[in-house]
Amino acid sequence: MQYKEKALDYQGRNSVAGYVLKNNFNTVVYLLNAEKITILNQRKAFVESFSGITRQLLSLNQVSKENFIKVQQHSNDIDYQLGIYERYNALHENLKIKKPEGMVLPIFDIDYTKIAEQFVTSSHIDSTAYYNMLAAGSGNYFFRDLSLNANVKYNFYDVYNSNVPNRTYVSLGLNLAMPLVMNQKNKKERDLLTARLLTEGSATKTGMDTQNVVLNSLYEFKYKQKQYGNLLQKRELFAELLRNEEVKHDYNSVEFNPLVANIILDDYWSTTIELLDLKQDMYRILNELKINLPSIDAAKIIKPYTFEPVIMSNEGEQQFKNFKAVNAVYAWSDVFKNNNPSSIINYCKLNNFNTLIVSVNKSDVEQVNQLVTLSAGFNCELLIGSNKLLVNGNIESYLDSVSSLVKLNKISAIHLDIEPHTFDDFKTNKEAYFEKYLALLDKAYAFTQKRKLRLCVSIPLNYPENVLQGIFKKCDYVYLMAYENVKPAFIREKMKEEVLLGKDKVILALRTNDFTNKAQMDALFQELGVKHVAYHDLDELIKWSRKNFNKGGK
């Protein structure tokens, strides 16, 4: 659904600059129009299919006339835009101008320091200054001031005496003019000074005019860049609103409104067209800079630039970026029984989760891989929960077999949920079990280091200090499972040792079985004031949400 802009990288800088600034700018317009036409054709098919449904809903009084008119307005606007872009591109193709195959015009920035250097190293002399200089310099030559003129005159004398007739005659003449220079040296100095004044005066005026034009272009570019960033943020808002509607649809909520969802989707694509228009403006400005600074090296004045829209939570904290505060959720196999990977991702985005701890069974491999593929923007941890590994110790071959099923290049960490305390003879053989556990941890650590993955574990609140030291030494994050007893004072007391060993590594995990809704879990996390949190488990959280949605709750 979402349209992603390609940012300029250093490898593509020379090729883009070389093409855009050495070829006709009309081809840039052609390439961007082609992108717009693709999007508009998709919008047109979508709006036409929905227009009939909207008409039926209007006849049943299920939508307002205002919303129906808005749908029709979108359709007319799409047809108008398509007409403009298609006619332009058809004309361009008739001209048979060579177009690059597969070129994508990326977003870029302009290096203002390189522009400033251009004014220092360049001279600006226009044609007027040039010809004035030649005219002034020509005075240095003696023969330039020589002149020879011929003339013919017809003479008529009107005599006022009637006794004497009027007189007429023709005369011929020849005039020769030549300068008499008393001091040739002074004359040459005067002529050279005149030429210099004419040249420098005109050059200064021309240079100032060029600087003003370039500065105005740079200002316009920066303004377009600001507009582009604002529009990206606006489009991200539409994407978030659309995700909300998708979640409502997935959970069969009575609040789901297909008309609202489709209007939001069309607004998303409309904003994308506006972004392409702004991109075209930025390339136009780049072309104008090249015209005003013809000797400039285009590859040196542009540089990579990436817009990063920020998704903000209700508290104003930045989410899905750098993962400074872990907001994790356990996803066991049960979650795939009633939910597809797409709806799971939508739910996690809606609730600002940034870390997925995913368990893998052979029966769920296909869905797990789909989920992992869709999890861009998340930390995805592969959960290993087989206690048998503690007995046989053969975790390397087990991890190798799992890595053949799941795409490890999409995984950020291996997460061990192996529990020695669950064995029947644990109380009488604690030291032996903990020794096996730490040995298993060493092997898992070697596996993750080799593949550049993080290592995480889930443990209860009662492990001895020497075991905790071994765990914190090897692990990036330690999930503390505060289950059954959820009294704040009890949890604070039990977490003391772990917090002292590594506060930033501690993630407090609560389970849904100990609460009646997510709001209660959130309230306890807030009261405890922990930085990193985890919810156990995703399937139950979704069931709570469905229950609330179907009641019409928010």
Exposure pattern of 453-490 as b/e (b: 16+ CB <10 Å)? Answer: bbbbbbbebebeeebbebbbebbbbbbbbbeeebeeee
The segment(s) of the chain belonging to CATH 3.20.20.80 are 327-550
Longest dimension (CA), the chain: 166
* Mean pLDDT for the stretch of residues 343-357: 88
Position 288 scores a pLDDT of 85
Q: What is the mean pLDDT of residues 2-11?
A: 52
**pLDDT of 426 above 70:** yes
What secondary structure letter does DSSP report for 8? P
Convert the pLDDT of each residue in 504-541 to its tens digit.
Answer: 999 999 999 999 999 899 999 999 988 899 999 999 99
pTM of the model: 0.54
Confidence check: pLDDT of 20 > 90? no
Share of the chain above pLDDT 90, in %: 30
CA–CA separation, 432 vs 426, rounded Å? 9
The C-alpha atoms of residue 280 and residue 299 are separated, in whole angstroms, by: 18
Q: DSSP labels for 88-139? A: HHHHHHHTT----TT----BEEE-HHHHHHHHHH-----HHHHHHHHHHHGG
User: H or E element: which one contains 108?
Assistant: strand 108-110
- pLDDT, average across residues 309-322: 38
Residue 389 — very low, low, confident or very high, per pLDDT cuts 50/70/90? very high
Band (pLDDT 50/70/90 cuts) for residue 94 is confident
- Highest mean pLDDT pick, 189-203, 292-306, 386-400: 386-400
Residue with more model confidence, 349 or 458: 458
- Residue 236 amino acid letter: E
Cα separations in angstroms, 340 against 89, 141, 366: 42, 92, 11
Topology adopted by domain 327-550: TIM Barrel (3.20.20)
112: confidence class by pLDDT, cuts 50, 70, 90:
confident
What count of other Cβ atoms lies within 10 Å of the Cβ of residue 17? 20
Task: Summarize the confidence of residues 406-418 as an average pLDDT.
Answer: 91
Determine the Cα–Cα distance for residues 132 and 547; give it in Å rounded to an integer: 87
> Would you say residue 280 has pLDDT above 70?
yes
- 126-167 confidence digits (pLDDT tens): 445 544 555 555 544 555 567 777 777 777 666 666 666 667
Name the token pair of 485.
Answer: 């007893």
Strand-pairing partners, residue 152, are 172
Strand partners, 480: 459, 508
Q: Please compute the mean of the pLDDT values over residues 341-351 and round it to a whole number.
A: 86
pLDDT in tens, 27-68: 888 889 999 999 999 888 888 877 777 777 777 777 777 777
What Cα–Cα distance (Å) separates residue 58 from each residue in 65, 113, 344? Answer: 7, 59, 33
> Nearest Cα to 285, choosing from 125, 112, 33, 127?
112
Nearest of 296, 368, 277 to residue 112 by alpha carbon: 296
Whose structure tokens read 């500065």? 215
Whether the predicted pLDDT of 296 surpasses 90: no
State residue 245's pLDDT score.
82
pLDDT digits (tens, 9 = 90+) for 180-189: 655 666 666 6
Give the whole-angstrom CA distance, residue 504 versus residue 511: 21
- Terminal Cα-to-Cα distance of the chain (whole angstroms): 25
Q: Are 356 and 375 in contact (CB under 8 A)?
A: yes
The better pLDDT of the pair 430, 135 is held by: 430
Split at pLDDT 50, 70, 90, the class of 410 is confident
Looking at residue 75, its pLDDT comes to 80
CB 407, CB 372: distance < 8 Å: yes
pLDDT at 272: 92
C-beta separation of 20 from 283 below 8 A: yes
Task: Write the CA distances from 227 to 83, 220, 233, 279, 287, integer angstroms.
Answer: 26, 11, 10, 10, 19
Helix (H) / strand (E) containing 153: strand 147-157
As a whole number, mean pLDDT of residues 463-473 equals: 94
Calculate mean pLDDT across residues 306-322.
43
Q: Which residues contact 143 (CB under 8 A, 6 or more apart)?
A: none
Supply the pLDDT for residue 127. 44
Q: Which of 248, 284, 210, 223 is nearest to 21 (CA)?
A: 284
